Amino acid sequence: MLDLKFVRENPELVKQNIRNKFQDNKLPLVDEVIALDVENRNAKQEADNLRFERNKISKQIGALMAQGKKEEAEALKKQVTADSERLAGLEAREAELDEKIKKIMMTIPNIIDQSVPIGKDDSENVEVQKYGEPVVPDFEIPYHAEIMESFNGLDLDSARKVAGNGFYYLMGDIARIHSAVISYARDFMIDRGFTYCIPPYMIRSEVVTGVMSFAEMEAMMYKIEGEDLFLIGTSEHSMIGKYIDTILSEDSLPQALTSYSPCFRKEKGAHGLEERGVYRIHQFEKQEMIVVCKPEDSMAWFDKLWQNTVDLFRSLDIPVRTLECCSGDLADLKVKSIDVEAWSPRQKKYFEVGSCSNLGDAQARRLKIRVNGGENGKYFAHTLNNTVVAPPRMLIAFLENNLNADGSVSIPKALQPYMGGKTVIQKAK
């Protein structure tokens, strides 16, 4: 959420940013919120003047009563009554205007970084760099669900009976690899100086609206019926929410956390073959990283975060590339975002396995996460988040890139300690 003062002083910049995000339908909101702000400030000023006059007249009434001038005192009392009625109306209008302004400000997108390429949608995202050599073996690579089933490691039919489409049972060596990857990712991030955390898996609505846009919330979140609670779609939600309404000291920054959690998403819409199986699902597990830092440090942290994901995937022998998200592909709160995509030998293309985002002070402003800058006063922190790893989607890349011609799967050296020393897993007989 932008600072209203910034919008008021830079209306054309805000409008151009909306155009750059191809959200022209939001352009009228800028003039509307500025007009509402003018009315609101005028109402507040008049209310303040009435309160000042009421206090002054109250003293005059007391003095007149002491002097026995009751008629004059009564006349002033009538004026106080009239002013009080006017004040009550102004205060009600202030509350109404505050709510309207807040609703609009929650809809106007954040100002994107100047380095973000301008484009309408994800088809115009820009490749930044490739890491590792993408290989297509001389043997056929089965669909990922078939690979898992060859190890007796996936049961979609039973999950469909129990919970419906978009759920799964992982079993045996496949389930073990899943857990091994999560454990390895946890230790990988701890070794890089991040504090490990297991957060709440449900959050209140004030946290939900603090960390994402209304459109994202509607598309993603599961609501707990009868309670002010939502299941998290990613642990970033509750991790950033941890700092709601806090004032951090500058010397406590940066706060760098890595978290494990299950994640729950609606994932509405139809998808192609390669997005079935365990690619796009309602429930998965994830290792996440978040940073709360000073504004001047956020871009340096942004580069560190996406590099962590690249390094982790390369340590598991998986080629990846980074993709700069264009303006039209950025969620409204984001300043800049880079996706990490893994190579799929089966599809002969890259697919998304993680996303790194710098949100500037947007989340901090919504959640009131401030920093005590001493002589420089208080200011809003910057927040960032990035996926470390999110199996079972990551398992697709892992299995395809480590599959052998005989159907076995090699275990990279980094993961072997988490697999009881196994160097390979064999197909079920």
pLDDT for residue 274? 47
What CATH number is given to the structural domain containing 345?
3.30.930.10
pLDDT at 250 over 90: yes
Q: What average pLDDT is seen over the chain?
A: 93
Whether omega for the bond prior to residue 200 falls within 30 degrees of 0, making it cis, is no
Query: What percent of the chain clears pLDDT 70, i.e. is strictly above it?
Result: 98
Q: What DSSP string runs through 139-188?
A: SPPPPHHHHHHHTT-EEHHHHHHHH-TT--EE-HHHHHHHHHHHHHHHHH
Are residues 235 and 322 both part of a single domain?
A: yes
Query: Residue 27: which domain range?
Result: 4-105
pLDDT at 73 over 60: yes
Q: Does 114 fall in a domain? A: no
Average pLDDT of the segment spanning 84-97: 89
pLDDT for residue 84? 82
pLDDT for residue 226? 95
pLDDT at 93 over 70: yes
pLDDT digits over 101-135, tens only? 999 999 999 999 999 999 999 999 999 999 999 99
Q: Does 115 fall in a domain? A: no
pLDDT at 294 over 70: yes
Q: What DSSP string runs through 298-318?
A: HHHHHHHHHHHHHHHHHHTT-
Please give the Cα distance from 323 to 331 (Å, whole number): 15
Are residues 165 and 259 both part of a single domain?
A: yes
pLDDT at 421 over 80: yes
Give me the residue label for tokens 């159907």: 407
Are residues 217 and 98 both part of a single domain?
A: no
Q: Does 155 fall in a domain? A: yes
Average pLDDT of the segment spanning 228-244: 94
pLDDT digits over 131-151, tens only? 999 999 999 999 999 999 999
Q: pLDDT-derived band of residue 185, with 50, 70 and 90 as boundaries?
A: very high
49-53, 69-73, 172-176, 186-190: segment of lowest average pLDDT: 69-73
Q: Does 184 fall in a domain? A: yes
The number of C-alpha atoms within 13 Å of 297 and in the hemisphere containing its C-beta is 17
pLDDT for residue 269? 56
Q: pLDDT-derived band of residue 68, with 50, 70 and 90 as boundaries?
A: confident
pLDDT at 272 over 60: no
- The closest alpha carbon to 121, from 322, 263, 329, belongs to 329
Complete edge-to-edge strand list for the sheet that includes strand 222-223: 202-203, 230-231, 222-223
pLDDT for residue 273? 43
Are residues 18 and 133 both part of a single domain?
A: no
pLDDT digits over 363-413, tens only? 999 999 999 998 889 999 999 999 999 988 899 999 999 999 999 999 999
pLDDT at 284 over 90: yes
Q: Does 111 fall in a domain? A: no
Average pLDDT of the segment spanning 173-179: 97
pLDDT for residue 264? 94
The number of C-alpha atoms within 13 Å of 422 and in the hemisphere containing its C-beta is 15
What CATH number is given to the structural domain containing 63?
1.10.287.40
Average pLDDT of the segment spanning 211-234: 88
pLDDT for residue 350? 97
pLDDT for residue 276? 67
Last residue of a domain, one of 105, 132, 157: 105
Q: pLDDT-derived band of residue 331, with 50, 70 and 90 as boundaries?
A: very high
pLDDT for residue 285? 95
Are residues 64 and 208 both part of a single domain?
A: no
Helices 393-402 and 172-191, interaxial angle, to 10°? 100
Looking at residue 113, its amino acid is: D
Average pLDDT of the segment spanning 239-246: 97
Are residues 50 and 138 both part of a single domain?
A: no
Are residues 82 and 219 both part of a single domain?
A: no
Are residues 244 and 357 both part of a single domain?
A: yes
pLDDT for residue 104? 96
pLDDT for residue 229? 95
Pairing of β 195-197 and β 202-203: unpaired
Residues 128 and 384: beta-carbon distance below 8 Å: no
- Other Cβ atoms closer than 10 A to 125: 19
Are residues 101 and 137 both part of a single domain?
A: no
pLDDT for residue 131? 98
Last residue of a domain, one of 72, 105, 138: 105
Please give the Cα distance from 59 to 73 (Å, whole number): 10
Count how many domains the chain has: 2
Looking at residue 354, its amino acid is: G
pLDDT at 271 over 70: no
pLDDT at 261 over 70: yes
Are residues 230 and 311 both part of a single domain?
A: yes
Q: What region does 358 belong to: left with phi over 0, alpha with psi -120 to 50, or beta?
A: beta
- The closest alpha carbon to 258, from 187, 196, 344, 335, belongs to 196
Q: pLDDT-derived band of residue 212, with 50, 70 and 90 as boundaries?
A: confident
Q: Does 214 fall in a domain? A: yes
Average pLDDT of the segment spanning 139-167: 94
Last residue of a domain, one of 105, 134, 164: 105
φ and ψ at residue 199, rounded to 5 degrees: -95, 175
Are residues 126 and 223 both part of a single domain?
A: yes
Q: Does 110 fall in a domain? A: no
| SS3 (DSSP) at 421 | coil
pLDDT for residue 279? 86
Q: Does 76 fall in a domain? A: yes
pLDDT at 270 over 60: no
pLDDT for residue 232? 95
Are residues 94 and 166 both part of a single domain?
A: no
